[in-house]
Homo-oligomer: A and B are copies of this chain.
Amino acid sequence: MAEIRELGSSEKAFLEAFLPQEVNSDLPFVTLTYAQSLDSKISLGPGLRTTLSGPETKAMTHFLRLKHDAILVGVATAMADNPGLNCRYPGATAESQPRPVVVDSEPKWQYNSSKVLELTKEGKGKGPWIITMRQGKDQSTPEDLKKHGGEIIPLEPTTGIPTAPTSGHIPWDTILKSLKKRGINSVMIEGGANVITNILGMPELVDSVIITIAPTWLGTGGVTVSPASKTEDGKPTSAANLTDTKYHQFGADVVLCGRLETVQMQARS
């Protein structure tokens, strides 16, 4: 594993306003962060782990992980990428590690053979929490997971037609509130495409957005982030917008910080 460098003071100053803050709410502070190509792809294809960002932005990712209580990904990403979801920023201790959270309705993630649990056993990360859909059967945490600090968290699914965006079948605010109740004050949502697309539709739940853009086009076969189109008064409008935007070049990439807003842009009439 390559060593992670410390961020410089101008890089830290750039990120400062978008880092987690104390929020007096039943929801945690939520940061959405991911890397994409110019053509809005996060990987070359389904299940293909793709290194998009350079070493400069990798350092940023680990700095951000240090600043959050939890890192959340969808099960598809956990299975395709087998990510470590820990923090390797200089000075990170076992205690300061973020909690890995995998949203896995069924569940189907094989945590036993995962990098996450491997790192937990080595003392380099916390045991994973698995958010799953409450069912009529026993959903207690197995001993092999419990002894490493992991937990199965069954949550109530949406009944009927969901009125809000969901992950699998669990409403996002249910997921986030359950994390806050467990002491998680800040969550960094890292992917994958379905999770990101979902979250972009919920400006009320997201506090910061931090996107790395790599100067490459992965091509039409890649996995795309693009929310469903919207219309307002019968006119097409943008699906999501950022406000308070700030950009900083990290190596060959650029990092964009902003906040989701609800006002949409329209086609010219």
Contact = CB atoms under 8 A, between A and B. Distances in A.
A242 B225 contact: no
B226 A267 contact: no
A8 interface: no
A217 B221 contact: no
A227 B220 contact: yes
Contact of A228 (B220, B245, B267): B220
Nearest to A45: B236
A116 interface: no
Interface residues of A, number: 51
A215 B40 contact: no
A252 to B, nearest CB: 5
Contact of A50 (B252, B254, B258, B268): B268
B51 A268 contact: yes
Contacts of A252: 242-243, 245
A226 B236 contact: no
A217 B239 contact: yes
Nearest to A36: B38
A256 B254 contact: yes
A164 interface: no
A211 interface: yes
Interface string A213-243: 1011111111011111110000011111111
A253 B265 CA distance: 15
A249 interface: yes
A128 to B, nearest CB: 22
A12 interface: no
A241 to B, nearest CB: 5
A41 B226 contact: yes
Interface of A: 36-41, 43-45, 48-51, 200, 211, 213, 215-222, 224-230, 236-243, 245-247, 249, 252-254, 256, 258, 265, 267-268
22 contacts: A37-B238, A40-B40, A40-B226, A41-B226, A43-B267, A44-B229, A48-B236, A48-B267, A49-B268, A50-B265, A200-B217, A215-B243, A215-B256, A216-B238, A219-B228, A219-B238, A219-B239, A220-B226, A222-B226, A243-B252, A245-B253, A247-B254
